[in-house]
Amino acid sequence: MLGPDWVPLAEVLVYLNENLFGGYRASIHCYGDRFIRRAGKGGPTIKVDWLSDGSVVMFASANDKMNPPLNDYQFQQLEFLGFTAPMSRSGDYAIDPDDIDETSHSSFVKVIETTPTIAEVVEMTLSTLVLVYGVSVENMFYFGIHHGVHEKIHALGKLERYQAHSG
């Protein structure tokens, strides 16, 4: 669906989901000129938790982490893709993150109970990033804080690596 330019990133996400450096979670965070880092907010993150029963829980950034914030249409798109949206105290979408109902999760959440394949999870991850958040293949990507994960991804030879510091 996304074309051959996305294959290297898809292969990295397959690798992350196969190896689960955090024990149960694979994650991707996106940086780019469209996403302004300010006050703890920025580009989208998708986290995938693989549970012991084979089910998967996906978490996608909502407006408490996004700059620019998502609009009503993007909330609807995420619901169409099977995510549960953060809701406000009045029962509407929590466009304003300060108005999230205490019984609502602050992120978009999707539970897949039917033991999806890694390919299905990677396709959902990339489709969500591109279709809803507007991520492009030219963006930069961060894959989490787990020790050695960046070196292992770099060793795959799929993506360019930008070091945080020299040395």
> Which tokens is 136 given?
């492009």
Total-model pTM: 0.91
By 3-state DSSP, what share of the chain in percent is helix, strand and coil, each rounded to 5?
30, 20, 50
Distance between CA 48 and CA 109 in Å, rounded? Answer: 10
Q: Report pLDDT digits (tens) over 1-16.
A: 689 999 999 999 999 9
* CA-closest candidate to residue 34, choices 142, 139, 141, 143: 139
Q: Report pLDDT digits (tens) over 41-72.
A: 999 999 999 999 989 999 999 999 999 999 99
Pick the residue with more confidence: 162 or 166? Answer: 162
pLDDT at residue 145, as a whole number: 78
Cβ–Cβ < 8 Å for 17, 127: no
Mean pLDDT of the chain: 92
- Sequence-distant (6+) residues with CB within 8 A of 95 are 63, 69, 70, 71, 72, 75, 88
Domain boundaries, the chain: 4-155
pLDDT of residue 164 exceeding 70:
no
